């Protein structure tokens, strides 16, 4: 009853083209952002921040970046972890090597470096397609892993490639409490999500989607594949790189190349597939699902074991987690191959017509 667009007449092109054309959506999103910025820091405890909220924010940012490449431009990438690593280590180098480097600038410059590497490894996409491309992007993953482990200059001559940053502060405000970290990441996420949403609605976003749907046809109607594919790689790697820098700087504090291994790449790909390819909203759903599932299983399995009187040891829990994780992924793919975002939009459609079926 509340979710109706009756009576909301558009009187200007601007009103017709806004991101959320329905007033209830606009109010809802403002309330959500306000709750995330004000309500959550007051309510959540430290464990919640560290284990769920901050990883969720950063990984949804990375998933957002990956979704631009895979979901909107149709170029499968298994090298996301590598681009995150480039962002993190580049930002670290800017921080260490340049005196008085502002954190914000270092993070963004890390993103810029990831962009360069991303475009470099994106060049093969002009000739290679589909699964062949997916494996080719693994080259980025393994090469970058190796480079940060073996080339000492990148890690400021630290052994085993582990580095750390401390005393972050932005415009004089220290980022040391979980609340501050959370708000910092939230700020990044909101800005980038808004930018991404508008980018995919613009002419460049439409070019990406045309390339995704059929690249030969797209080039026939005058879309330059080189420009479209490489720009998707650039934008995607920039966002992913910033996310990687945040993951290192804010979430981990000190990290080594293993933090951005191939598992991270798969994890991000799972997020966007379960959340929904080609959907900004889907990136958030997917990230929430993948971040919370292991935490949830970790809490629930011992309880279940206790109920039936079986004492489950940690190794079994880890293996059962793997099994349930795998089974759930398959289950979701079978039930809704278009992801959670599709379920969400179906739900909204139903709500608009409720209580009538059609």
We find the least distance from the C-beta atom of residue 174 to other proteins, in angstroms, to be: 38
The residue among 230 and 273 lying less far from other proteins, judged by its C-beta, is 273
Q: How far apart are alpha carbons 215 and 173 in whole angstroms?
A: 48
Those residues whose C-beta lies under 8 Å from the C-beta of residue 278, and which sit 6 or more positions away, are: 67, 71, 72, 209, 212
Task: State the minimum distance, in angstroms, from the CB of residue 165 to other proteins.
Answer: 25
Interacting residues toward other proteins by CB under 8 A: 70, 76, 124, 127-132, 134-136, 138-139, 142-143, 145-146, 149-151, 214-217, 220, 262, 266, 269-270, 273, 277, 315-316, 319-330, 333-334, 337
Which residue, 184 or 270, is less far from other proteins as judged by CB? 270
Considering the complex, state which of residue 111 and residue 161 has its C-beta at the smaller distance from other proteins: 161
In order of 11, 19, 35, 111, 200, the CA distances from 14 in angstroms are 8, 10, 27, 32, 17
Minimum Å gap between C-beta 215 and other proteins is: 8
Angstrom distance (rounded) from CA 229 to CA 226: 5
Which CB atom, from 1 or from 216, has the smaller least distance to other proteins?
216
* Geometric angle at alpha carbon 205, from 13 and 241, rounded to 5°: 125
Q: Phi and psi for 170 in degrees, rounded to 5?
A: -115, 120
- Smallest distance, other proteins to C-beta of residue 123, A: 8
CB nearer to other proteins: pick between 143 and 296: 143
Q: Phi first, then psi: what are they for 202, rounded to 5°?
A: -85, -175
CB of 113 to other proteins, least distance (A): 19
- Report the 10 Å Cβ neighbour count for 78: 21
3-class SS at 174?
Answer: strand
Nearer to other proteins, 110 or 161 (CB): 161
CB 271 to other proteins: min, Å:
11
- 176 versus 213: smaller Cβ distance to other proteins: 213
DSSP 107-148: HHHHHHHHHHHHHHHHGGGGT--HHHHHHHHHHHHHHHHHHH
Nearer to other proteins, 127 or 203 (CB): 127
Q: Which is nearer to other proteins, 76 or 91 (CB)?
A: 76
Distances (CA, A) of 285 to 117, 145, 235, 288, 300: 28, 28, 21, 5, 21
Q: How far apart are CA 217 and CA 219, in angstroms?
A: 5
- Structure tokens that stand for 206 in this block: 């439409």
Evaluate whether 239 touches 67 at the Cβ level (below 8 Å).
Answer: no
d(CA 349, CA 358): 10
Angstrom distance (rounded) from CA 113 to CA 88: 10
Minimum distance from residue 319 beta carbon to other proteins (Å): 4
Least separation, in Å, of the C-beta of 150 and other proteins?
4
Query: Shortest Cβ distance from residue 152 to other proteins (Å)?
Result: 8
CA distance 206 to 211: 9
């Amino acid at each position: 009853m509340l979710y109706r667009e009756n009576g909301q007449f558009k009187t200007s092109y601007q009103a017709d083209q806004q991101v959320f054309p329905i007033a209830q959506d606009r109010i809802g999103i403002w309330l959500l952002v306000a709750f995330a910025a004000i309500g959550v820091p007051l309510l959540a405890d430290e464990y919640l921040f560290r284990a769920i909220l901050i990883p969720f924010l950063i990984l949804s940012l990375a998933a957002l970046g990956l979704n631009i490449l895979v979901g909107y431009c149709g170029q499968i990438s298994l090298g996301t972890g590598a681009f995150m690593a480039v962002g993190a280590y580049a930002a670290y180098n800017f921080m260490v090597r340049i005196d008085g480097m502002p954190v914000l600038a270092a993070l963004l410059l890390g993103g810029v470096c990831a962009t360069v590497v991303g475009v470099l490894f994106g060049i093969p996409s002009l000739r290679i397609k589909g699964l062949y491309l997916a494996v080719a992007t693994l080259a980025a993953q393994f090469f970058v892993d190796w480079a940060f482990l073996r080339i000492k200059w990148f890690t400021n001559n630290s052994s085993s490639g582990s580095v750390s940053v401390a005393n972050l502060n932005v415009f004089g405000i220290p980022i040391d409490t979980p609340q501050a970290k959370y708000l910092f990441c939230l700020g990044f996420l909101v800005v980038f999500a808004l930018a991404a949403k508008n980018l995919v609605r613009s002419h460049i976003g439409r070019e990406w989607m045309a390339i995704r749907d059929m690249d030969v046809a797209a080039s026939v109607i005058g879309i330059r594949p080189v420009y479209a594919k490489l720009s998707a790689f650039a934008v995607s790697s920039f966002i992913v790189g910033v996310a990687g820098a945040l993951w290192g700087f804010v979430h981990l504090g000190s990290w080594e190349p293993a933090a951005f291994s191939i598992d991270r790449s798969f994890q991000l790909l799972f997020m966007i597939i379960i959340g929904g390819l080609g959907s900004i909203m889907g990136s958030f759903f997917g990230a929430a699902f993948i971040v919370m599932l292991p935490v949830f299983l970790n809490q629930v399995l011992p309880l279940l074991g206790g109920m039936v009187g079986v004492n489950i040891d940690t190794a079994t829990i880890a293996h059962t987690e793997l099994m349930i994780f795998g089974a759930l992924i398959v289950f979701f793919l079978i039930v809704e191959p278009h992801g959670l975002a599709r379920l969400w939009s179906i739900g909204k459609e139903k709500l608009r017509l409720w209580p009538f079926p059609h």
